[in-house]
Amino acid sequence: MSARYEAEPLTARRVSRSVRVGDVQVGGGAPISIQSMTNTLTADIAATEAQIRALADAGADIVRVSCPDEESTAALKTLTRAATVPLVADIHFHYRRAIEAACNGAACLRFNPGNISESGRVREVVRAARDNGCSIRIGVNSGSLERDLLERYGGPTAEALVASVLRHAEFLEEHDFREYKVSCKASEVTLAVRSNRLLASRTDAPIHIGITESGSARTGSLRSAVGLGVLLAEGIGDTLRVSLAGDPVEEVRVARMILRSLGLRSGGVLVVACPGCARQQFDVGRVAEALESRFGERVETLRVSVMGCVVNGPGEALGSDIGLTGGGRGTHQVYVGGERAGRVCAGDGGEDELVEELSRLVEERLGLTQGRQ
């Protein structure tokens, strides 16, 4: 069921060492994994479990949960048993939370050892991580950089962010712990790009990329696509998170689309549609949007083209799994597997019929037709 048109990677990926997050390999040439984060109270096990499931169903490979208190790390015991994807415990300052999370099944700790002043405590966290097969992500953000680095570099510059990552990493290296990945996030796209370029030249650890606090679904998706797109196109990034305010499932959909656009992963129903113009024989936008909202959460790889007329329609349809090209007098051409498969007649205002016909074909192709008349 492969479409004829699929993006190909623009460049070779940066060589990084491999780190495990549960059964997911990050770095070392593994596929770029998609992460997201729950926004429920972690101690609310039912709600968090449901959200982890929704994220995994949408295609997340790894899910992070906040662990600000003991109730949250205690909940990890149940959550990690129920989850089908590895969980990362997000710890900020309290070393005991890190130890509890490692002991309660977290596959990775998001934890900056430099935030803990005593070396003995770092040793305890490292021991708990090692004993429980747990990796660590050092995560530096432009909004929470150490004061001395801000002063030395004159603000949250790329050099300051990378210096912070490397300083945290040293704490782990001192304890002979190399099962860590790193991230350098900023809400400014250009700063995030510059920081990650610099970071990529200074370490062989796998890099988790993301534009932090990128905004709402629309703004954040665009800003993430630009920032992550630049980095990924340069071969930088072993795992990623698209951070959006709102439903985290949308983060996974956007991440999948970014990776697919760059030929770095397959997956998802991609609806290719022309912008429409005076030649369009039906309302292209309406049909495309209806299909996206109906199939946007599917993880199977499928390409559907919705084109308003014969100018570019047949060409796109031939490269798609399913295609629709607008024709004259309300008679439109349908393509399946790159071949003409018949016509569908839908006059003025017939977009609903077109959506139904294309949906039927998509469902048939995805093996979802049971129960549909």
- Shortest CB 254 distance to ligand SF4, Å: 25
Per CB under 6 A, does 113 bind ligand SF4? no
The CA radius of gyration of the chain, in Å to the nearest whole number, is 23
- Minimum distance of ligand SF4 from residue 305's CB (angstroms): 10
Closest approach, Cβ 279 to ligand SF4, in A, equals 4
Task: Work out whether 313 is an interface residue with ligand SF4 (CB under 6 A).
Answer: yes
d(CA 361, CA 305): 12
Tell me how crowded residue 228 is: count the other CB atoms within 10 A of its CB: 29
Contact call for residue 312 and ligand SF4 (CB under 6 A): yes
Residue 240 belongs to what H/E stretch?
strand 239-241
- Least CB distance from residue 318 to ligand SF4, whole Å? 14
Residue 71 to residue 17: CA distance in whole angstroms: 34
**Among 44-52, 111-119, 268-276, 286-294, the segment contacting ligand SF4 (CB under 6 A):** 268-276
Q: What is the dihedral of CA 20, 24, 30, 34, to 10 degrees?
A: -120
CB of residue 225 to ligand SF4, shortest distance in Å: 22
Alpha-carbon distance of 256 to 241, in angstroms, equals 10
Q: How far is it, in rounded angstroms, from Cα 5 to Cα 3? A: 5
Which C-beta is closer to ligand SF4: that of 105 or that of 323?
A: 323
Tell me: does residue 275 bind ligand SF4 (CB under 6 A).
Answer: yes
Work out whether 280 is an interface residue with ligand SF4 (CB under 6 A).
yes
307 binds ligand SF4, rule: CB under 6 A: yes
Cα gap 97→125, rounded to integer Å:
9
CA 281 from chain center: how many Å?
36
> In this chain, which of 311, 318, 336, 368 binds ligand SF4, going by CB under 6 A?
311
Residues of this chain that bind ligand SF4 (CB under 6 A): 274-277, 279-280, 307-309, 311-313
